[in-house]
Amino acid sequence: MTLDTEPDLSDFSRIDFSNGAVAAVSGGSDSTALLLLLKAHLDRNAPATKLLAVTIDHQLRPQAAAEAQAVARLCAARGIAHRVLAWSGHKPSTGLPAAAREARYRLLAEAAEAAGIGLILTGHTADDQAETVLMRQARDEWARDERASGEGPSDEGQSDDGPRDEGRGLAGMAPATLYEWRHWIVRPLLGVRRAALREFLRREQVAWIEDPTNADTAFERPRVRAALVEGDDAPRMAETMALARKAAAEREQLGHRAAMLIRSLASRPAAGLVRLDRDFATEGDSRAAIYALRILLAATGGTAFLPDQARSEALFGRLRTGPLCATLSRTVIDARRTGIFLHRELRDLPPAVSDNALWDGRRRITLGDSSGALLIAPLLVAPLGAALAAKRAIAGRGTPASLVRAALAAEPALWRDGECLGLLGEGPGLPGEGPMPAAVAAYPAVAPFARFLPSFDLAPADAVAVLLGAAPVPAAPFGGHSAGLPRAKA
């Protein structure tokens, strides 16, 4: 059957499908249309491409299993490979939508990994984008009101794409997001209205599933959705999408300026220690400098979100006035005549762990083979500690030994039976100790982007990856990418 795809309804031509694609298909109208449009595109242009449809059963409604089977039948009729994965286990009583989203991405990535595919496509539409922007706009307004009242916003409850300030959150969902530094999640329908997709399905005589939770106003998104469609929503949709495009372009431009500062003024004189030239504090582009500082604070402290904007601005102002020692975002900031030094504070470090993990948000630790099997049971990962750090600390040019000791003390080390085998990812063991076991590996992680890296933020993420010695950002799965979003098609 040849689909009436309408060339302006979707455009997959910029996406690189050479390593196949996983399509996330719930059975709703958006994801069903995505699957059929994608299949038609691949049949015409790359028929040998490996395509796998994956349905996540969140096990939140009794009808979900039957709905997943309906997707399976559609895929079988179209010759598309299909898997159903279940989100089993405990479901939280609060924050359910966020937990479900986290489980969904994790299961999709596991399916892609098992199939040897690095690309995941989702059916997010212009309607979803507008809802996201309006929700973040409302939260920004609430945060400003809280700040004005003197209470101030917390760092919690932020989105996958990062903090909601400086207009960053108003960029909405990125056209592509790197998940776990491995899998690209691409959203090719962000410029397409849901109504257009449903009209396409009607013409193709393909039914879809209506999930009642999408209309449950107990949750924030359905409430925003209901408000958005009241009356003639076209003007508000156009206004919201224009706002998202503007915010996305500004976010990407600010990221490029921050990346230039990181590359030119930041260095890593010792493990766990970042040094900024004193010129950083007098940088004329203060907005980019504050943004770079926030990213470096999160990366050094191992936090998933950037520190509060207002606190970061105050810190930057103090850096301009002279020496200081302060903490923010689990990071010690020690400004001296020889430079501005950042290192992880010694509080709230992780307990000893004995399995593969993202340790303290700063290191990806592997203690076993690629299957995750533990090869040497007695091995533990724990902080090096102050005593052993003193044995390794060597003052470099312009780097006081006290700062090297403080930074090393918070770094992960490999332990066995109470004895330290050495710092992970920093070469051989301590003097007089043996080499690291071959099965052990540790790689730096770029903390604020380790789980979710929106394509808006590629420039600063890459700059920090180079600084920390982390793996480079995988190439985006399309060419000519721009942060700007396409205009919504009615």
Average pLDDT in the chain: 84
Q: How many percent of the chain have pLDDT more than 90?
A: 59
Q: Report residue 288 as tokens.
A: 């980019």
Instruction: Give, as one character, the DSSP assignment of residue 213.
Output: G
pLDDT band at 62 (very low <50, low <70, confident <90, very high): confident
Is pLDDT of 63 > 50?
yes
Is pLDDT of 438 > 90?
no
Question: How high is the pLDDT of residue 367?
Answer: 80
Residue 284's CB: how many other CB atoms inside 10 A? 6
283 Cβ contact list (under 8 Å, min separation 6):
261, 265, 289
Closest CA to 81 of 25, 155, 148, 3: 25
Question: How high is the pLDDT of residue 440?
Answer: 79
Average pLDDT over every residue of 344-372: 82
| Residue-range domains of the chain with CATH | 21-245 (3.40.50.620), 357-393+407-444 (no CATH)
Length of the chain: 490
457 Cβ contact list (under 8 Å, min separation 6):
162, 251, 252, 255, 449
pLDDT band at 323 (very low <50, low <70, confident <90, very high): very high
- Give the least confident one: 138-152, 196-210, 325-339: 138-152
Question: How high is the pLDDT of residue 183?
Answer: 95
pLDDT band at 303 (very low <50, low <70, confident <90, very high): very high
How far does Cα 8 stand from its chain's mean position?
30
- Give the least confident one: 45-54, 150-159, 206-215: 150-159
pTM of the model: 0.86
| Highest mean pLDDT, choosing among 4-8, 62-66, 88-92, 297-301 | 297-301
Is pLDDT of 315 > 80?
yes
Average pLDDT over every residue of 243-248: 94
Is pLDDT of 363 > 50?
yes
Question: How high is the pLDDT of residue 184?
Answer: 96
How far does Cα 76 stand from its chain's mean position?
33
Is pLDDT of 215 > 90?
no
Question: How high is the pLDDT of residue 179?
Answer: 96
Residue whose pair of structure tokens reads 């890296």 in the numeric block: 453
- Give the least confident one: 4-8, 137-141, 192-196: 4-8
Question: How high is the pLDDT of residue 214?
Answer: 62
pLDDT band at 157 (very low <50, low <70, confident <90, very high): very low
The rounded distance, in Å, linking the Cα atoms of 118 and 115 is 9
Average pLDDT over every residue of 429-438: 52
Closest CA to 174 of 479, 477, 453, 451: 453
Average pLDDT over every residue of 109-122: 96
Question: How high is the pLDDT of residue 72?
Answer: 97
Select the more confidently predicted residue: 163 or 346.
346
Is pLDDT of 160 > 90?
no
pLDDT band at 158 (very low <50, low <70, confident <90, very high): very low
Residues 38-56: pLDDT tens digits?
999 999 999 999 999 999 9
Q: Looking only at Cα atoms, what is the longest distance across the chain?
A: 76
Question: How high is the pLDDT of residue 479?
Answer: 58
Angle at 184 between CA 77 and CA 473, to 5 degrees: 160
Question: How high is the pLDDT of residue 230?
Answer: 61
For residue 35, what are the CA distances in angstroms to 4, 21, 48, 335, 358? Answer: 14, 11, 16, 54, 33
SS3 of 5-37: the string is CCCCCCCCCCECCCCCEEEECCCCHHHHHHHHH
Residues 379-404: pLDDT tens digits?
888 999 988 888 766 655 668 889 99
Helix axes 234-265, 458-468, angle to 10 degrees: 20
Average pLDDT over every residue of 371-375: 47
Closest CA to 165 of 304, 311, 309: 309
Is pLDDT of 193 > 60?
yes
Is pLDDT of 427 > 70?
no
Average pLDDT over every residue of 255-274: 96
Is pLDDT of 10 > 90?
no
Is pLDDT of 288 > 50?
yes
pLDDT band at 436 (very low <50, low <70, confident <90, very high): low
CB 67 within 8 A of CB 27: yes
Question: How high is the pLDDT of residue 223?
Answer: 72
Question: How high is the pLDDT of residue 406?
Answer: 94
Residue whose pair of structure tokens reads 């996305």 in the numeric block: 248
